[in-house]
Structure 1
Amino acid sequence: MYELFVLGELMTGEKHGYMLQEVLKKAVGLGRKISSGTLYPLLSRMTENGWITLREEEETKGGRTKKIYGITASGQDRFRQLMAEPFDAPDAEAQNTLRLKMVYFQYVDREARLACLKQYLRLLEQNLKHVSQFEADLIAYKPEPEKQRVQLLRVFDHRKRLGEVEARWIKDEIERIKERQEE
């Protein structure tokens, strides 16, 4: 996910490492942070792979060197490859990856956007089916203790409702993209 983020951000233009770190902190949401110890080794690997370039500038305040990163043609290819990669499972990581991909939809064609959304929708529908089946089993077999079973049914109701809302939004987004002629 971080590789996709870095390449996606660099598709918008050059950025220095600190700016990438700050934008990523805001993009992934509360409770999830990327440390310098994670970001800078990733940037080094991406530079070694030829996906990004590194240019150093001297900062005026404090005389520290500012590292500016840019994307290469190979990095743009890698970005498009990551945008086309399927999701592994309907989990929080897939949801975060979808959100990042959607931010960068402007850099891929319409078919890539639709494929991404449709594949994510299939995962949501599989998850909804799984939750509904487990819920039906709980209702049919009535395992004990009853208080726990009842609460577990409430949890599944919550998961189903969230999944249904998310699936509806994804379906609407697919239709919106299909209807837009200029893309």
Structure 2
Amino acid sequence: MYELFVLGELMTGEKHGYILQEILKRTGGPGRQISSGTLYPLLSRLVESGLIHLRLEEESEGGRPRKIYEITEVGRDRFQQLMEQPLESTTDTDRLVHFKMVYFQYVAKNVRLACLEQYLNHLQTAWTYVDKFESQLKRLKPSPDMQRIQLLRVFEHRKHVGAADMEWVSKEIERIMKEE
């Protein structure tokens, strides 16, 4: 997922590592911070594999040289491959889709639609799972009552959020389908 992020960010233009890390921190939200120990080894691997190019830029006040990264043609091809990869239902599916959506401007309409349709299917599957579990819980009425009641409230919340997500994705699919 971070490979997609780095390549996607470099599609917008060259950047230095600090800026990449700051953008990813803000994109990931307060609970998902990327460390330098994760980002910089990834950048090194991407350079070694020829997906990005590293250029050193001298600091004006005698500091260390700044490392500037830019995407290569091989990196652009890899970015396209990552954007076209089918989604897998994991705990990070939502986050991956959000990363992909940020870079939709760099891929064809059919790639955007495939991603959103797969995501809609993922959301529908999750909603159906919760709905079935909720029905079982209502039918079987396990004890203790307070815990069952609270679990039903959680399910109600998950179904509400899931329905809102499915509605939004459906509208986004419709919007993209109308594009020229």
| Stretch moving more, 41-50 or 61-70 | 61-70
**How is 1:19-168 mapped onto 2 (pairs within 5 angstroms)?**
19-89=19-89, 91=91, 93-168=92-167
Aligned length in residues: 180
Unaligned runs of 5+ in 2: none
SS at match of 1:50: coil
Moved beyond 2 Å, runs of 4+: none
Alpha-carbon distance, 1:87 to partner:
2.0
The CA deviation string for residues 91-116 of structure 1, in whole angstroms up to 9 with x for no partner, is 3x111111111110000000000000
The CA distance in 2 between the partners of 1:77 and 1:83, in whole Å, is: 10
Matched residues, percent identical?
Answer: 58
- The answer to whether the 8 Å contact 1:11/1:71 transfers is yes
The CA distance in 2 between the partners of 1:90 and 1:118, in whole Å, is: 16
The CA deviation string for residues 65-114 of structure 1, in whole angstroms up to 9 with x for no partner, is 100000011101111111111222163x1111111111100000000000
The CA distance in 2 between the partners of 1:13 and 1:87, in whole Å, is: 26
TM normalised by structure 1 equals 0.96
Tell me the C-alpha RMSD between the 2 structures. Answer: 0.9
- The answer to whether the 8 Å contact 1:90/1:127 transfers is no
The CA distance in 2 between the partners of 1:144 and 1:158, in whole Å, is: 21
Name the aligned partner's letter for residue 35 of structure 2. S
Unaligned runs of 5+ in 1: none
SS at match of 1:19: helix
Name the aligned partner's letter for residue 175 of structure 1. E
SS at match of 2:143: coil
SS at match of 1:32: coil
